[in-house]
Chain A
Amino acid sequence: MTRSSVVLACALAAATCTRPSEERAGAEHEVGHAAAAGLTVDVTDRLAAIRTLAPGQLALWAAAPAIEVTVEVTPAAAGRWRLTVGNVVPDAVVALDGAALTAALPPPRPTVVVRDLDLTAGTHTLHVGAADAGAAGGFRVVAMADIQTGLPTVDQVFAAIATTQPRFVVCMGDLTDRGELAEYALLEAQLTTLPVPFYTTLGNHELWADSARYRDRYGPATFQFTYRGVAFTFADSGDAGLDPTTEADVDALLARAADRTQLFLTHFPPIDPIGVRDGSFRGRADGQRLIGKLAAAGVDLALYGHIHSYYAFEHAGIPAFVSGGGGAQPERWDGIGRHFLVLDLAAGAPPIVGLRRVD
């Protein structure tokens, strides 16, 4: 019996792992840093993916309405560089060391900027994005999640989103069904139909393949940006929980924005509003611990995906929504179908959330 117990324990040890996202949480910290061709690029707070860094070419994908990039240039690399930044607000401005740059080429679409940078040897600072990011006043955002098998027709959802005239879209993950390269290519094509930027974290379906595919394209999955005094904190819960490294990152981000109006976005609801279903964190106590932290940090609104329906509820007194209507196979008998949330936000004011059906 003793030997069989040992064998069983070893089998269980091989079959189970309590930190499935440990490697991903560590890799997250490498986002926004790269060095090649005489350039060292460092994106503040990892708020962009570096898609290309090759002689004369620097291409970024922004994960926030305004990003700051520090560039160190070696003497050999000094000269003209073509900067392309995708996923920016349509009126984005680009400034190099405080001086605004004019467009090098007409942008292929409203969410892309192209500039030529004349870089001298030394350190430079680039600012790219919304000039009004630090301004006051209300604004509108759309929240959505769970595109998955709806990817071929998500342009219909994007078209409906465009009619609400949001400043940008936030997404709680599950952009693809299986994380396949063809799906990412299709998503890239579909995003060209969206006239505003799309800031997202990942979901469990992005983990059906190497998560680097997500990271290389869209950058961080755990990050925070502030727009007009409202903080948006995204967290990677793709394995139905937060890795300890991610949880420590989230702790720091929540604390940083504790005095602001703050939204928290992640894929898995920490606790399923239908408790007996448990479509949520894999450990209920882990979900409750996170909710306790959200409440302590004064989070004003929590947004989740994963469940392909719409639920409005509260946890620890925080208004919370599940909105998984991006086109994935819908939950039946709920009368919802494809949908998204329209958020009217302003610093210091309670968020106003509306449901918008697509079909």
Chain B
Amino acid sequence: MTRAVPGRAALACRRLRRIGLAVAGATLLVAGDGRAEPPPVSPARRAAAVGLAAVPGLVVPGLGARTVGQPRAARRLLVTAGVGLGLIVVGGVPIAATYGSGKVVVPGVPMVVTGVGLFLGRWWADIYTAAGGHGAPRGLPGLEVGVDGRWRRHPYLGDQGQLGLDGRWRRDRWELRGHAELAPTGLAGARLDGRVRLWAPRGRVVAVTGTAVDLRVGTLGRRDRSVDPTRYTGEVAVRARLDLADLDPGLGGSFLDGEAGLGLELTDYAVGDPDVNGVLLSRVGWGVYLPCGRGEVAGFYDHRRDGPAGGLAAGRAAGFFGSVGVAAEVVVTPAWTAAATVEVGGAWVSTLGIRRSL
């Protein structure tokens, strides 16, 4: 008996159905993960919880969660803060003791950055929990294309506008992202990222934004103006997300992000020999899922200083810090997702884009 070969549309429908099933499965798993309904909390108690979480909560982890009747979540936040402090000490003491020896920068700096991310992230998570925040991971489409506009205010280069073209493909454990930056003078930059999901508690499908550990391999090329050096970078990083609901159901709705890795950068000057330099990748973030699977908003610190934002002008600590920023993704309709990022380092970089799933 012969079987009819399905058409492209049917295949797409089947793929979407599969993704939908995966998302639904993941959601069911999340929902059925023993997340207890939070106990009823009076507005006054909630206000007090937010206040406690915000002020003394910086140094006393979990005060907000404890006040709204989530003692186990509070204990988990305490442990998270302890791990963060431990990483800061273990990574930071050798750096301080050797006065920045290149021999201890790796893994010292990523440990410190991750430690600070955990220490501060659990603080903000406690405030969010105290405020009654909620939300859950969402599913991602298998194929997306989009455009974005980027505006950069650079102290030397002035205001620069760029148009970006974006493409993302996901299947099972794999994801491929491409992005091209188009300036009025032509192609200003391009990057290609491949990811493979190494681990996730509910299956390793990349099309879910929950807890996971990914390996990212990327390559990019960029130059600011035609007269400036052209830079090519290859990089490998481990990127992880911890959905705090997986730490404790009472902490649902927010997440911690982290990335650590290394890169090699080749700089091609108009005059003179090219240079090759190492790049340290270290990034942390804390964010919240928007309700009803409508996306997410996250604040981040990125230690790398080779991006368009560069590093913060940090006063007395000039030259040590990377950039900070806020990134948001909002599902406008099931087919359309809007994305916005504001990143501040030596320059301000704002990006606004839209993607369509196919």
Q: Chain B residues near A333 (CB, 8 Å)?
A: 98, 101, 103
Q: Is B318 an interface residue (CB 8 A)?
A: yes
Chain A residues, CB < 8 A from B222: 285
Verify B346–A318 contact, CB threshold 8 A.
no
Is B258 engaged at the interface, CB distance under 8 Å to the other chain?
no
Q: A243-B155, A275-B279, A333-B101 are in contact. Are A285 and B306 (CB under 8 A)?
A: yes
Main DSSP-derived SS at the B contact region: loop
- In the complex, B357 has a CB within 8 A of chain A: no
Does A317 sit at the interface, judged by CB under 8 A? yes
Distance from B285 Cβ to chain A, minimum over Cβ atoms (Å): 13
The digit string for A173-209, where 1 denotes a CB below 8 A from any CB of B, is 0000000000000000000000000000000100110
A58 to B308, CA, bound (A): 48
| Contact A239:B313 (CB < 8 A) given known A283-B305, A295-B269, A295-B272 | yes
Q: Which residues from chain B contact A90 at a C-beta distance below 8 Å?
A: none
User: Across the interface, which residues of A come within 8 angstroms of B336, CB to CB?
Assistant: none
Residues 341-356 of B, flagged 1 when their CB comes within 8 A of A and 0 if not, give: 0101111100000000
Nearest B residue to A314, CB-CB: B273
- Interface residue B224 (Cβ < 8 Å from any Cβ of A): yes
Q: Please pick, from A16, A204, A282, A318, the residue contacting B272 in the complex, using a CB distance under 8 A.
A: A318
Q: A292 with B342: in contact, given A16-B312, A275-B279, A277-B102 (CB under 8 Å)?
A: no
**Given A12-B324, A316-B272: A288 and B99 interface contact (C-beta under 8 Å):** no
B318 near A20 with CB under 8 A, answer: yes
**Interface code B148-185, partner A: CB below 8 Å = 1, 0 otherwise?**
00000111100000000000000000000000000000
Contact (A5, B326) CB under 8 Å given A16-B344, A282-B318, A292-B269: yes
Question: In the complex, A345→B274 CA distance in Å?
Answer: 26
A80 within 8 A of B: no
CB neighbours of B344 from chain A (8 A):
12, 16
Contact A292 B312 (CB under 8 A): no
Residues in B whose Cβ lies below 8 Å from that of A334: 101
Bound CA–CA A12/B280 (angstroms): 24
CB-nearest residue of chain B to A268:
B319
Proximity bits, A310-326, B CB within 8 Å = 1, else 0? 00001111100000000
A247 adjacent to chain B (CB < 8 Å): yes
Contact, CB under 8 Å: B273 / A208? no
Contact A276:B272 (CB < 8 A) given known A285-B310, A289-B224: no
Using a Cβ–Cβ cut-off of 8 Å, how many residues does chain A contribute to the interface with B? 56
With A276-B279, A331-B101 already in contact, the answer to whether A285 and B319 are too (CB < 8 A) is no
Which among B103, B154, B297, B318 is the interface contact of A1 at CB below 8 angstroms? B297
CB–CB A19/B155 < 8 A = yes
**Alpha-carbon distance A268/B318, docked complex (angstroms):** 10
> Nearest chain A CB to B305's CB is how many angstroms away?
5
> In the complex, A204 Cα to B313 Cα: how many Å?
11
CB pair B270 A292 closer than 8 Å: yes
Are A296 and B270 CB-contacts (below 8 A) given A208-B316, A240-B319? yes
Q: Which of A260-290 contact B (CB under 8 A)?
A: 268, 271, 274-286, 288-289
How far apart sit A143 and B110, CA to CA, in the bound complex (Å)? 34
In the complex, whether A238 has a CB less than 8 A from a CB of chain B is yes
Which residues of the partner chain B approach A16 to less than 8 Å between Cβ atoms?
312-313, 324, 344
B253 to chain A, nearest CB (A): 14
Q: Is B37 an interface residue (CB 8 A)?
A: no
**New contact pairs (18) apart from A18-B313, A279-B100, A283-B311, CB-CB < 8 Å:** A1-B297, A5-B297, A16-B324, A18-B153, A18-B347, A20-B315, A240-B311, A268-B318, A275-B277, A276-B278, A276-B280, A278-B305, A285-B224, A291-B269, A306-B319, A316-B273, A331-B99, A334-B101
Question: Hey, which bits of chain A sit against chain B, CB under 8 A?
Answer: 1, 5, 8-9, 12, 16-20, 204, 207-208, 238-244, 247, 268, 271, 274-286, 288-289, 291-292, 295-296, 306-308, 314-318, 329-334
Query: Can you name 21 A-B residue pairings with CB atoms under 8 Å?
Result: A1-B328, A5-B328, A16-B312, A17-B313, A19-B155, A20-B313, A20-B318, A204-B316, A204-B318, A208-B316, A276-B109, A278-B320, A285-B222, A288-B228, A289-B156, A289-B228, A295-B270, A296-B271, A306-B319, A317-B273, A329-B99
